[in-house]
Structure 1
Amino acid sequence: MIPSSQPARLILASSSAYRRELLARLHLPFESVAPSIDETPLAGEAPEATALRLARAKAQAIAAANPHALVIGSDQVATLDGEQIGKPGDHPRALAQLQKMRGRRVVFHTALCLWDGRVADPGAAFQIENVQTFVTFRDSPDEELDAYLHIERPYDCAGSAKNEGLGIALLERVESADPTALTGLPLIALTTMLRRAGVKFFGC
């Protein structure tokens, strides 16, 4: 991808507070706009394919209404034994998720797409990558899982545990090339993409 000389307007295609907090660490001015897309997995779709498709769809949806912008789309899919684990939404579902995952190794696919609206060729306008994180959960008893959920209420998190908060106490091991991927926005991959698009860091 050839970086454009035009100044970049940066948009995060997400309403996630976790992703906003992560992106803010880069000290780049940005806006957040929530995309309106159907996030239902397709029949027979592999978890990695779901994450990649949705990350691109989110970026593309916001890019269509914001020409000449750099748009970041991201999506995360957690899987156990090949089965997708979504956001629980409430306490009983969250408890069931944690009970199923305790003592097990869960794979989190965090897909990232950077759409550059300054590039004329749509086929060359985006960069996309999937970052995998392997998380081994402790074999925690029911009373710990229940107490954790009442304290942190992570019902909007795939896998029902906030690794950036108290949920880290439920984890035994985290393996990933990008430590921020598990929280929802892989910043190592993102800064690589942004550099390719001509974004400068550190004011130089």
Structure 2
Amino acid sequence: MHSLANRKLILGSTSVYRRELLERLRLPFSVESPHVDETPQPGELPAALACRLALAKAEAVAARFPEAVVIGSDQVADLDGLALGKPGNHARAVQQLQQMAGRVVVFQTAIAVVCRATSFSQQALAPVKVTFRTLSATEIENYLRAEQPYDCAGSAKSEGLGIALLERIDNDDPTALIGLPLIRTAALLRAAGLDLLASPR
């Protein structure tokens, strides 16, 4: 096991949601953009896409900061094997919510921790099964106008008004749906040698 006591911790993501979640662990960290092409490969399933991109993001930042411990994460909405990413605009968000209404969607949230200096590299997947209500066109339009979740995979923020779109959430890592599974993140950091509770915070 390698000590991370003197190593910089970096979140390889520009997501404000992931930054806010990581702050809950009360660890000093910085944020770097990974600059990774997120285009799916031909025939790539959503879970495989999320895992590949999480690792690619961590490795991209670790290449620039080899002494640091880097966290990478990615989330892909999985609708019966069809990958739904960030909509980017209103029209695509409407389309996504129409597709997901009344259906079960698995939000595949992947996490990777990499430290080049210690040759540490591990990742984990935290799938979250979400059951959407049957939604009217008016409900979809009113929700999107209120929250504008165009930077969220699946076009909904469960931590906000988006919870009103849902019937059920099933998961074993409560923050995974928001974008960073903290139980698995803490486990990977422990595996890398960082004990989050070694001293008072």
* Range into which the TM-score falls when normalised by the shorter chain: over 0.9
The answer for the alignment partner of 1:42 in structure 2 is 41
Q: Is the 8 A contact 1:10 1:30 kept in 2?
A: yes
**So what's the TM-score if we normalise by structure 2?**
0.95
Please state whether the residue corresponding to 1:185 is helix, strand or coil: coil
Cα 1:20–1:5, aligned 2, differ >3 Å: closer, same or farther?
A: closer
Match of 2:132 among 130, 133, 137: 137
* 1:195 maps onto 2:195 in alignment: no
Name the SS for the 1:182 alignment partner: helix
Q: For structure 2, which runs of at least 5 residues remain unmatched after alignment?
A: none
Provide the residue aligned with 2:177 in structure 1. 182
C-alpha deviation, 1:150, in angstroms = 0.3
State whether residues 6 and 118 of structure 1, in contact with CA within 8 Å, keep that contact through their aligned partners in structure 2.
no
SS in 2 for 1:172: strand
Helix, strand or coil for the counterpart of 1:100? Answer: helix
Residues 149-168 of structure 1 aligned to structure 2 (within 5 Å): 149-168=144-163
Could you list the per-position Cα deviations for residues 120-172 of structure 1 after superposition, in whole angstroms to 9, with x for gaps in the alignment? x4xxx201111100000011211111001000000111111100100011011
Distance 2:96 2:77 in 1: 11
Q: 1:86 aligned to 2:85?
A: yes
Partner in structure 2 of residue 170 of structure 1? 165
CA distance in 2, matches of 1:48, 1:95: 23
The change in CA–CA distance for 1:5 and 1:202 in structure 2 (over 3 A counts) is closer
By how many angstroms is 1:118 displaced?
A: 3.1
User: Which of residues 122, 131, 150 in structure 2 aligns to 1:127?
Assistant: 122
Match of 1:77, SS? strand
Q: Are 2:58 and 1:59 aligned?
A: yes
> Cα offset for 1:196?
1.8
Contact in 1 for aligned 2:3/2:194 (Cα 8 Å): no
Structure 1 residue 116, shift from structure 2 partner: 1.9
1:86 shift after superposition = 1.3
1:195 counterpart letter in structure 2: R
Q: Match of 2:61, SS? A: helix
- Cα distance between partner residues in 1 of 2:33 and 2:4: 27
> Is contact 2:54–2:110 with CA below 8 Å preserved after alignment?
yes
State the number of aligned residues.
199
Q: What is the one-letter code of the residue matched to 1:113?
A: A
CA contact (8 A) 1:154 1:161 kept: yes
Distance 2:59 2:42 in 1: 22
Runs of at least 5 residues in structure 1 that lack an aligned partner in the other structure: none
Residue-by-residue CA offset, 1:48-101 (whole Å, 9 max, x unaligned): 111111111100010011021110000111111211111111111111111111
Say whether the 8 Å CA contact 1:14–1:35 is kept in structure 2: yes
TM-score by length of 1: 0.94
Task: Give how far 1:203 is off.
Answer: 5.2
